């Protein structure tokens, strides 16, 4: 039996942390779909054509050590706006979503485009300022020199690009449960997400 949990939201809202915890709780496989676009973005920064990079992406590309850098994050957002790139990665994501044993996918268009039939959908949000502060602390911990104003500007620019693109814009699915993590601890956010998935499972069985 397959059971798909789609978790979407903007950068640094907490969807990755929540998704990994939810997958571990249920024993489901997890896919951070953003890594697919980051890997394509990284290859593009290295000189590759983004569409060709998407079509020839391998599992090894997802293990690159630079996928969490700010430059790659911005490149990922830009290549994700290219319809041909998104089309090249759709089949991989959909096959993963319907695997036996259950799957959790997090990204920006999982519940709306990749898996509109997902049994449970969450849309994780937080204010731009909270998300920028989280990203700023994360970068500083990694030794990346930056300042809060720059990170906040990057967050807002990425939001505008992700929400404004013509192909698969970032938005909640009509039947997604919205989860605002602005003032929640990690444990509280994960517990709220699990409660929402439990409810979706209960409704499916009735």
CA distance 200 to 204: 6
Q: Which residues pair with 30 in a beta bridge?
A: 104
Residues making up the annotated binding site for ATP are: 9-17
Using an 8 Å Cβ cutoff, are 48 and 131 in contact? no
CA distance 132 to 137: 9
Q: DSSP letters of 127-147?
A: -HHHHHHHHHHHHHHTT----
Cβ count near 47 (within 10 Å): 7
Using an 8 Å Cβ cutoff, are 146 and 132 in contact? no
Using an 8 Å Cβ cutoff, are 17 and 11 in contact? no
Q: Which residue has the tokens 């602390």?
A: 137
Residues making up the annotated binding site are: 9-17
Task: Give me the sheet containing 4-8, strands edge to edge.
Answer: 29-32, 103-107, 4-8, 120-125, 177-180
């Amino acid at each position: 039996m397959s059971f798909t949990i789609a978790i979407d939201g903007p950068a640094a809202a907490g969807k990755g942390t929540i998704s990994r915890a939810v997958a571990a709780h249920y024993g489901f496989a997890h896919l951070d779909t953003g890594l697919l676009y980051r890997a394509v973005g990284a290859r593009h920064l290295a000189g590759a054509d983004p569409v060709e990079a998407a079509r020839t992406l391998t599992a090894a590309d997802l293990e690159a050590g630079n996928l969490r850098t700010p430059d790659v994050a911005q490149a990922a957002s830009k290549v994700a706006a290219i319809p041909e790139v998104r089309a090249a990665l759709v089949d991989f994501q959909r096959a993963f979503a319907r695997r036996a044993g259950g799957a959790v996918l997090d990204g920006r268009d999982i519940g709306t485009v990749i898996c509109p039939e997902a049994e449970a959908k969450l849309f994780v949000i937080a204010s731009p300022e909270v998300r920028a502060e989280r990203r700023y602390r994360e970068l500083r911990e990694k030794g990346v020199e930056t300042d809060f104003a720059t990170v906040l500007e990057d967050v807002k620019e990425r939001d505008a690009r992700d929400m404004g693109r013509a192909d698969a814009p970032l938005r909640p699915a009509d039947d997604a449960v919205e989860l605002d993590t602005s003032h929640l601890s990690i444990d509280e956010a994960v517990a709220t997400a699990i409660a929402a998935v439990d409810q979706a499972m209960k409704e499916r069985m009735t």
